[in-house]
Amino acid sequence: MARIQGVDIPPNKRVEISLTYIYGIGFKTALDVCNEAGIDPAIKARDLSDDEVSRLSSIIESNCVVEGQLRRVIQQNIGRLKDIACYRGLRHRRGLPVRGQNTRNNSRTRKGPKRLVAKKKK
Amino acid sequence: MGRSLKKGPYVDLKLLKKVQKQTESGSSEPIKTWARACTIIPDFINSTFLVHNGKDFKKVTVTENMVGHKLGEFSVTRKPALHGSHKK
């Protein structure tokens, strides 16, 4: 079991896949990291030697913003939008879709579960 | 899709002239404008605009963080949808 960047322990998968379990690393970045480390992306993560793990780890650390740090960056960007009160910031504040989607129906991901309104009695 | 870099940011020329005139004279009176599509450039920092939203003019004081956004982003054009009794 390998620990890269703190919490992540990618298990019996190919290195290229198990690296994507790190927040901020997708398939493309995982392949790039493997290439730079000179590691065959097709071998399983458990077969990595300690040396290889530390190599991957250091490459990720120097080239990518991942995990907590990335989450913080994203929150900061959203915070900035809210702060300057531009349209996107207002949408974030209200919990509505930010990129111009329709809100007549759906948009449940942003709006959360339905809030039913009591039907008026005749 | 983004705007071609070759052209640079879109800035309303008349508005830019007005801002420059103001910074020279040092007055900070709000500038009334309809140029919602105008990008906010560093020259605009600290000046105040009244940006038209189709009905009224909304006051926008430009801060450093706003650079790169458009003036219209700070002047909402829609009336929020309210349901039920929101009077009182």
Residue B85 scores a pLDDT above 80: no
CB A37 within 8 Å of CB A59: yes
Instruction: Quick: pLDDT tens for B40-62.
Output: 999 888 889 999 999 999 999 88
Is pLDDT larger for residue B83 or for residue B85? B83
DSSP string, A60-112: HHHH---HHHHHHHHHHHHHHHHHHT-HHHHHHHHT--SSS---SS--HHHH-
Is B63 near chain A, with CB under 8 Å? yes
pLDDT tens for A78-101 read 999 998 888 999 999 999 999 999
Is the ipTM here above 0.85?
no
* Cross-chain CB nearest to B76 (options A80, A83, A87): A87
When pLDDT is cut at 50, 70 and 90, the band that residue A28 belongs to is very high
Q: Percent of chain A at pLDDT above 70?
A: 96
Residue A103 pLDDT greater than 60, yes or no: yes
The residue ranking higher by pLDDT, A67 or A31, is A31
Task: Check residue A91 and give its pLDDT.
Answer: 92
- Name which of B65, B72, B83 is nearest A80 (Cβ-Cβ): B65
What distance, in Å, lies between the first and last C-alpha atoms of chain A? 66
The pLDDT value recorded for residue A44 is 87
Among chain A residues, the shortest Cα distance to B78 is held by A87
Per the prediction, chain B carries an average pLDDT of: 87
Per CB-CB distance under 8 Å, the chain A contacts of B36 are: none
B84 vs A39 pLDDT, higher one:
A39
- B37 near A CB under 8 A: no
pLDDT of residue A71: 93
B20: part of which helix (H) or strand (E)? helix B13-25
Mean pLDDT computed over every residue of chain A: 87
Binary contact (B74, A90; C-beta < 8 A) = no
Is residue A9 over pLDDT 80? no
Q: pTM for the whole thing?
A: 0.75
- The Cα of A60 is separated from the nearest Cα of chain B by a number of Å equal to 30
The answer to whether residue B67 neighbours chain A at the CB level (below 8 Å) is no
pLDDT score of B88 more than 70: no
User: What is the average per-residue pLDDT within A103-111?
Assistant: 89
CA distance B6 to chain A (A): 26
| Alpha-carbon gap, residue A13 to A55, rounded angstroms | 18
The three-state DSSP-derived secondary structure of B48-68 is EEEEECCCCEEEEECCHHHCC
Q: Which helix (H) or strand (E) holds B33?
A: strand B31-33
Chain B hits for A117, CB-CB cut-off 8 Å, are 83-84
CA distance A8 to A13: 13
Chain A residues touching residue B65 (CB < 8 angstroms): 80, 83-84
Q: Does B84 touch chain A (CB under 8 A)?
A: yes
Do A117 and B63 count as a contact with CB atoms less than 8 A apart?
A: no
